[in-house]
Structure 1
Amino acid sequence: MIISLHAGAQTMGGSWYGKADVVLDGTFNNYLTELVIKQKGNKVEGIFGYYFRNGYQSFYVKGTYDPQTRQVSIPDIPVVFYKANSIDGVTCNMSFEGTLRISKVGSFVRGAFSSDSKYKYTCPELRVLFSQDSLVQQDSVINNGMAKRLWQPSVEDVIVVDDSDGPDIKNAVTSAGLSRPNVASPTMDTKSLTNRFKSRQTIITNELKVASDSVRISFYDNGDIDGDSISVFLNGNPVIEKQVISAKALTVYVKLDPTKEFNDLSMFAENLGRIPPNTALMVVYDGETPQEVFLTSNLSQNGSVRIRRKPTPKK
C-alpha cells in the first residue's frame, strides 16, 4: 500500500492484507484491511488502512513487537462502527493484538481488533488473518484476490480538478459528494497565503519519479499529534489551505502539469504545533509503487518534493 518493505524471518516489517470479520452471529459487512509497517527494535510504525462499504480510510499507527513471543500490539485505531451505513460513520476506538506465524507457505499474522471492555457489545471484536505480500502491488489490485483496490475519495479528501480533467476524476468528485468549493480559489486570503509561501525559502529534499500523470498524496503527522497545521502548494499554487494534520490521512488528488519538466509539491507550515518543527509523512501513490517522504517545514522554510514523470517506454 505505502512502501515496499521486505520482512526478515522473525520481523513484522512489511505489507500485510486480510479480511476482518465481526465476531457476532449473523451476516455483516467485513473490512478489507491493510497494514504496512516497518520495525525498529521492538517498535513498529506505519499505516493501517481499511475498505468498508463505500470507501477507504487510513491512519498512521505505532505499536510494539516482541520478537520472543512474536506478539504485535497496536493501540488506539479508529475503526468505523460495523453497522454504519458508510465509511464516514461513527467509529470505535480499537486495539490490535496479533501473533506472527511463519511456515513454508508464507508469513501470517492472526489476531483481533478489540475495544475497551465496557464497549465490547457496542463495538464487537473483529478477527483477522493477515497474509504478507513480499512485493507491494499496484494500487488497483489486492494481492490475495479478495477485492480490487479501487480508491474512492472520502468526504475528508480534497480533490483538485480543473475544467480540463477527464470524466473519471469528475465522477470521483461527484460520488464523494464533493464540489468545487473544496478546491483552493484565488481569493484575497489565498493571495496573501501565496505571498507568505514565496517569502520563505523552499528546500527540495527529495525527487520522486512517477508513472502516472495524476497522483494521490496523503499527509500524516508522523510524530506526536501536536496540532501541526499546513498548507500544500503545487508549483507555487495552493491546493490545500490551513488544514490540521493528524494520524488520519489528509489526502489530495492532483493532476500533474504535463508541460513542465517536473512538478514541485511543497508543504507550508501554518504553525509549529506544540513541538517544533512542523513534520509530516507524505505518501505519494501513482498507481504503481507508493513512495513515502518525510517533510519538515518551519516559519522560514518550506519542505518540498520534486516529482518527475518516468519516460514513456518505446514501442
Structure 2
Amino acid sequence: MITIRNLSKVYESQDKKVEALKNINLTINKGEIFGIIGLSGAGKSSLLRCINLLETPTSGEILINGTDITKLRGAELRETRKKIGMIFQHFNLLMNSTVYDNVAFPLRINRVPEAEIEKRVLELLEIVNLSDKKDSYPSQLSGGQKQRVGIARALANNPDIILSDEATSALDPTTTESILSLLKDINKKFGITIVVITHEMDVIKHLCNRVAVIEDGVIVEEGSVIELISNPQASTSKRFLADMIAKLPNPDLIQEHNPTEEVLRISFFGEDANKPFISQMVKQFDVEANIIVGNIESIQDVQVGSLLVKISGSKENIDSAIDFLNNHNLRIEVLKNGSC
C-alpha cells in the first residue's frame, strides 16, 4: 500500500518559487491500478517522481507498506527503490545496448550473478513477447517494442510497484491498446501495484481501477473510474470527459422561468442503462419526455451513459417525475441558465 500524507513540492529558482504539489493526500491500495490524470503542468509528473524520490518532497510523508521512505537514506533507500520499477514516456533505453542488455542493466547494477541474469531476462522477454528481439538494438524496434523493453526492464528486480510516466503518449492507438493490455495482464498475473500518470482519458477508462484528478498541484477529485465517468464534479474532470457528457445542441432549448418544462441531464451506469425509466416516468406521472441527445459506451464491461431529456407537464408532475428518477439511483442534473 502507498499512503501519501500532506505532500508538498516547491521548486525554487533564484527569487521565484513554484508550488508544484499542494498538500496531497492519497491512498493507493496494494495490487490495484491507480490513475493520476491532469493537464500539462498540473503536477502529475512531480507527484509520480516523488513516490520513488526521484524528486525530494518539500514536506509530507510517503509511506510504502507502512515505512516513510522520505526518511530513508543510503542503502535502505536503494533497497526500497529496487522494489519500485519505472516506465518512461520516451523509453529511456540504452541505444548502444541490445534488448537483452537493456533488460539486464538493473540486475547488473545490483550485481546479480550472470546465470541468474540470463534466466530472468529470458523470462521477462517472454512475458513482453520479445524473445525473438533479444539481440536487436533499440533503433531496430518500433515504438511499441521499445516500450515493451521498458516494461521488461521495470520488472527486472521483481518490483512491488510500477510507476508509469505517460507510457503510451508517444504511441499510436493500436499500439497503446496492446501496451495497456500488457500492463493489465502483468497486474493480474503478478499482483503488482501500478500507478499511471496520463493526460489521456482513454488510458484511465481502459486500465485503471481508481483515479485521482490533479489540477494546479491539488487533488480535486478522486474515486473509482466508473464514479468519475458517470458523475464528474471538477471542471478538469468534465473537460477530460467532454466527449461523453451529453450537451445541448441549442441553449435556447432551456426556457427560464417556465414551470411546465425542465431539461434534465441523466447519468447512469451498470444495469440501470438497460432499464426503461423514461417510459415508466411518462406513464406514471403524466409528463411528456423528449430525448434531445445522448450517448452510452462500455467502460471495463460496465455500461456508462448520459442523456439530455426535456420533460413537459404540470410543475407538480415534473417534480414528482424528477423525484422518481432520483429514487432509482440515477444522477439527475436540472439544467438552468443555458448550462450544458
| TM-score, normalization by structure 2 | 0.25
Greater C-alpha radius of gyration: 2
Pick the structure with more helix per residue: 2
